[in-house]
Structure 1
C-alpha cells in the first residue's frame, strides 16, 4: 500500500538536519574571527576544519529549494486544484521576499539604514522560484522537470555574459544569474542567490514529487540509486575539470589542500557540479530516513516541520547572543560599533576592534546553544500550527 500522508516524515527529518547544519554557518558569521575579514573557502587563508565547517553547510540551500518543489507537488496531489496551488505559490513566494527585506534585514543588522546592504539571499531565491513555479505548474510535471533539468545543465553556458556589459539590463541579470550589487530606489541591493538555477532546481523537485507515491521499498531504491548516481557524476565531472563549474580545481601544496580545491565548487550561482555535489547526499539522506521512519516527536522532524520559524528565529537568536557576548567582552565600548552590521554582514571592518571575533571552537559551542534553544521553541510553535493549515498559518 502506498503511503499517502499529508507530510512524509522523511522529508521533514531531512529538512530538520539541514536546518541544524545551516545554523552552524550563520552562527559562524556572527562569532568566528575569520568571518570578519576572510572567506572560509579561500585556500590561501583557510584550514581544513574551517573549510569543512563552511563546506558541509552547502547542502542546505539546494535541499530547501528541491524539497520546496517536492512539497508543491505533494500539495497538488492532496488538493487537486492547479489554480489553488499556483495562487498559494506566488503569494507565499512574494511573502518570503517581503520577510527577507524586512524581518531578515533587521535580523542581519538590528537597524534599518539606507547605507546598509539590502540583501536578497536564500528566502528571496526561494520566493522568486516559487513565483516562477506558480506559472509552470499548469504544464505537465515531466515537462516542468525537463525544463528545470535543462536550466541546471546548461546555465553555465551563460557564465561569459557579464552584467557590466548589459547597461540598463544589468540589475535584471544580477537577479537572474550573476551575483552582485546594484542600486534600487537609492538603496544598495545585494543579489546573492541569482534565481535562474534555483528555479530550475525547484522545478526538478516538483517533477520528482511523484517518487513519494511509490511503494516504500521502491521509493528507497529510487532515492538511493539516484543519489549515488549524482555523487558519481559529481566526481566524474569534477575530475574532467571542463564544463560544469567556472572555478576549476588545481593541485595544491599538499594532498589535503588539493582535496579542498576539488571540493571548492561554485555556489553563487550554483553550478551544475555544485548541484550534483549537494543534491546527491540529500537524496541519500531521504532514502536513509525512509528506512528509519522517524515519528512526529523526533527532534529533527519537529524542527523540519517549521522551517521558516526556525530560520528567522535562529538568526535573531544568533545575533542577540553574539551581541551580548561582545557587550560582556568590551563593556560600554561595544555600543560604539554594535549599532551597525557585523563585518560579515556587510559592515565596515574598520569600525570594529582588530581582535573582534572568537576562535572556531567558540562558534561550535554557540551553535550547539542556538540549536538547543530553538528546539523547544519549534516544538511549541509546531503545536500551534497543528491547529490547522488555514488562513495566515499557511504562510508561517
Structure 2
C-alpha cells in the first residue's frame, strides 16, 4: 500500500482498523509459532483430538486459526485500495499483484523455509505461498465485474468441500495439480529435498477474491455508517450460517460435531474445524470474527490500538523477524540445556508458551516500529513488499 494512501486523512481511520486487525492476528500467530518451537512435543492434529489435547493448548491453537483467513482477506482488501485509493485514475493492478505474488512465492522457498527448518531438506509451502499464488490468481480476475467476483469467491469458499471425495494416487498425472489445489500432501516425498503443500489453494483464492470484492467498503467516499453496517452484517451472517451448518452437520466440515459429553466438550467440538484445506465452517467462523473485529476497531480506539497498527504496518518484516528470532532462541537454548523431550527441547505448560510470546513481542516491537516509520517516510517501491 502506497505511503500516499496510508497518509490520506480520509482513510486514516480505516487503514488504522485494517492494520489493527493485522497486528492482532500477528500476535496470535506469534503465540502459535512459539508453540511450534517450544511445545512441539505436544503436537496437535488437524482437527485436534479432544481426548488428548488439553483445553489450554486447544484454545491457544484455536486462536491462531484466525490468522491465515484474516491475512488473505486483508490482502484482497489492500489490493483494491492500492488500485483505487489514490485521488487520480485507477492504478494498474495486474502487474503489481503478479510481482508481489512471485516475490512471496520466492520468499517461501528461501527465507521462510530456512527460518523454520534451519535447512532445505523439506520445503513446507505454507501461508506465504498461498497468499502469493492467490495474488497471482487475483491478478487474472481483478478486472471482472464486481458481481462476478462475489460469485467466484463464494463458489470457491462454499463449494470446495464438494470436491473432497475426488482423490488421485501419487502416480496419477493429476496428483500434482490436485495436491496444489485441494489435497494437503507431498509433491516430492523422496530424495534430497522433499516438498509438501501445507496450504491447498482453492479456498484461499476464494478468500482473497472476497476481500477484493469488499474493498469498496473502505473507499475514500464510502459512508462510515454504511461501512460499519456492511462489516456487522457480513460478520453476523457468517457466524449465524456457521452455527446453523455446524449445529446440523449438514455440509461443509469433514469432522462431525460431538455433543452431549459436557457443555465445554460440545463447545470445543463446535469450533474444532479442519484447516488444511480450510473447510467452509472454518472460513465462516474465522472470517465472521475478522469482520466483527474490523467493526470493533472502526468504532472504538485507544492507545493500545497504536501498538497493533504499528505491528500491522510492517507485517512481512515482523513475520520474518520473529521466525528468525525463534530459530536463534531455540538453537541457543538447545546448545545450553540440551533436549528434554526426546530430540526436542520444550517447556512444560502452555502458559510458558504465552510468556515467551509476550516477552518476544516486547523485544521485537521497537525494531518493527522503526521499520514501520521507515515505510511511512519513504515511498521506495521495494518497501511496499514488507
Which residues in structure 2 correspond to 1:296-335 (within 5 Å)? Answer: 298-330=306-338
Instruction: Determine the structure 1 residue equivalent to 2:81.
Output: 74
Is the CA contact 1:9–1:293 (under 8 Å) kept in the aligned structure 2? no
For 2:351 and 2:47, the matched residues in 1 are separated by 15
Alignment of 1:121 with 2:126, yes or no, is yes
CA distance, structure 1, for counterparts of residue 298 and residue 13 of structure 2: 15
Q: Residue 227 in 1 paired to residue 235 in 2?
A: yes
Task: Give the secondary structure class of the aligned counterpart of 1:371.
Answer: helix
**Partner deviation per Cα, 1:334-359 (whole Å, 9 max, x = no partner):** 6xx9xxxxxxxxxxx96x16x75532
Q: CA RMSD in A?
A: 2.5
Q: Which residue of 1 aligns with 2:274?
A: 266
CA distance in 2, matches of 1:372, 1:48: 26
Is the aligned partner of 1:53 residue 2:60? Answer: yes
State the partner residue of 2:254: 246
How much has 1:205 moved relative to structure 2?
A: 0.5
Shift of 1:140: 1.6
Partner SS for 1:102? helix
Q: Which moved more, 1:193-202 or 1:288-297?
A: 288-297
2:4 aligns with none
Specify which of 348, 352, 357 is matched with residue 362 of structure 1. 352
Per the TM alignment, residue 166 of structure 1 is displaced from its structure 2 partner at its CA by: 7.2
**5 Å matches for 1:159-308?**
159-164=164-169, 167-183=172-188, 186=191, 187-213=193-219, 214-251=222-259, 253-293=261-301, 298-308=306-316
- Determine the structure 1 residue equivalent to 2:157: 152
1:227-280 alpha-carbon deviations (Å, 9 max, x no partner)? 112111111110010211111212364332222122111111111111111011
Residues 39/184 of structure 1: CA separation in 2 closer, same or farther (3 Å cut): closer
Cα 1:297–1:83 change in 2 (3 A) is: closer
In terms of mean alpha carbon deviation, does 303-312 or 209-218 score higher? 209-218
CA distance 1:36–1:356, change in 2 (3 Å): farther
Q: Runs of 4 or more off by more than 6 Å in structure 1?
A: 37-40, 80-83
Q: Distance in 2 between matches of 1:242 and 1:290?
A: 35
* Offset from partner CA, 1:43-69 (integer Å, 9 cap, x none): 121111110010011010000000000
* SS, match of residue 168 in structure 1: coil
Aligned residues: 374
**8 Å contact 1:13–1:289 — kept in the other structure?**
yes
Counterparts of 1:371 and 1:40 in 2: how far apart (Å)? 28
Tell me the residue number matched to 1:99: 107
Q: For the Cα contact (< 8 Å) 2:47–2:255, is it kept in 1? A: no
Aligned with residue 84 of structure 1, among 89, 92, 99: 92
**Cα drift, residue 225 of structure 1:** 2.3
Tell me the CA shift for residue 40 of structure 1: 8.4
Picking from 3, 21, 32, the partner of 1:25 is: 32
Query: 1:387 Cα deviation (Å)?
Result: 2.8
**Aligned-pair CA distance for 1:386:** 1.8
Kept after mapping to 1: 8 A contact 2:13/2:298: no
Gaps of 5+ in 1: 338-348
